[in-house]
Amino acid sequence: MNKDKILVVDDEQLIFDSIEDTLGDDYQLFHAQNGEIGLRMLPEVQPILVILDIRMPVMDGFEFLKRVGVAVEDPYAIIVLSGHAAGADIGSCYEMGVTAFLRKPFNVFELKGLAKQCITAKKQYQALLQERQTLRAFFDYSMDMVAVLDRAFCFVDVNPAAELLFGYDKTVLQGMSLQALLAEGEQYEAVQRFLLTADTFPDHLTIQPRGSDAVRVVLRLAILHDEAGNPVEGVMDASNQLIWSTASLLLTRPG
């Protein structure tokens, strides 16, 4: 089985040797003696974790972080390892996007635990990102109609199939109330009750597209999401209403 890769950017050979002794059994380690070499090695090695020193010749850790431009969607986490950084330096590192900070001399068990924690979190994030990309592809290319509503029951997003059904461009639909597209007013109230209180599932809806006759559709599925876009279970708040930020509705034509 291939080991996860760690790039250590540190000018001290003894530090790298100590890190390799600590993590070498579980991970594949690579050594860059300064930030400039680290920048060249980063795309070649493709590590899941970078352990970065601050004080180095040629290019220090701060400049490395500036050049990299750390972003949450990067495929690697960064642990800053330094024996000289002051409090302000630590704050600057976190502001520049590092995942964790560890002082030299480090405790081997702390380094082991921190490396495992950072790598696990990065893998979980990457898996979630991949899942969202897959869902987005389904959203964009599905022949079924998908509409996303906020808690005011206004459209946040729709896929191309829903645009075609509703007769409106996505930019026009955003902010429009679902009520404006339902030919029968009681159906709007039924959708509200279902999404807020888990009342009876309103499987059939009558859509009134722009410029054409009403169309009967089937509500196949409703998925609730939190503010981050993650699916949530049907949990009630103190007023006995479901807790969610957006709701995705999957609509199909009957037959």
| Cα–chain center distance at 221 | 23
Task: Based on the fold, state whether residues 123 and 181 are members of the same structural domain.
Answer: no
Task: Based on the fold, state whether residues 165 and 120 are members of the same structural domain.
Answer: no
Q: What's the confidence (pLDDT) of residue 92?
A: 82
Please tell me the distance from the alpha carbon of residue 208 to that of residue 216, in angstroms, as a whole number: 9
Please tell me the distance from the alpha carbon of residue 218 to that of residue 206, in angstroms, as a whole number: 9
Task: Based on the fold, state whether residues 39 and 69 are members of the same structural domain.
Answer: yes
Please tell me the distance from the alpha carbon of residue 35 to that of residue 131, in angstroms, as a whole number: 33
What is the pTM for the complete model shown?
Answer: 0.59
Task: Based on the fold, state whether residues 148 and 119 are members of the same structural domain.
Answer: no
pLDDT grade, residue 31 (50/70/90)? very high
CATH number of domain containing 219: 3.30.450.20
Q: What's the confidence (pLDDT) of residue 91?
A: 81
Residue 204: pLDDT over 70: yes
| pLDDT digit string, tens, across residues 169-185 | 999 999 999 999 998 88
Task: Based on the fold, state whether residues 126 and 188 are members of the same structural domain.
Answer: no
Give the total number of structural domains in the chain: 2
Q: From 111, 137, 163, give the residue that closes a domain.
A: 137
Task: Based on the fold, state whether residues 58 and 81 are members of the same structural domain.
Answer: yes
- What region does 175 belong to: left with phi over 0, alpha with psi -120 to 50, or beta? left
Cβ within 8 Å of residue 76, ≥6 positions away = 7, 42, 47, 48, 49, 50, 122
Percent of the chain with pLDDT over 70: 94
> 30: helix, coil or strand?
strand
Q: Kindly state the tokens that stand for 18.
A: 């100590």
Residue 76: pLDDT over 80: yes
**Structural domain boundaries, residue 222:** 142-252
Task: Based on the fold, state whether residues 118 and 240 are members of the same structural domain.
Answer: no
pLDDT, averaged across the chain: 90
CATH number of domain containing 54: 3.40.50.2300
Residue 86: pLDDT over 80: no
Q: Kindly state the tokens that stand for 47.
A: 């590590």
Please tell me the distance from the alpha carbon of residue 204 to that of residue 175, in angstroms, as a whole number: 23
pLDDT grade, residue 55 (50/70/90)? confident
Task: Based on the fold, state whether residues 111 and 147 are members of the same structural domain.
Answer: no
Q: What's the confidence (pLDDT) of residue 87?
A: 65
Task: Based on the fold, state whether residues 187 and 248 are members of the same structural domain.
Answer: yes
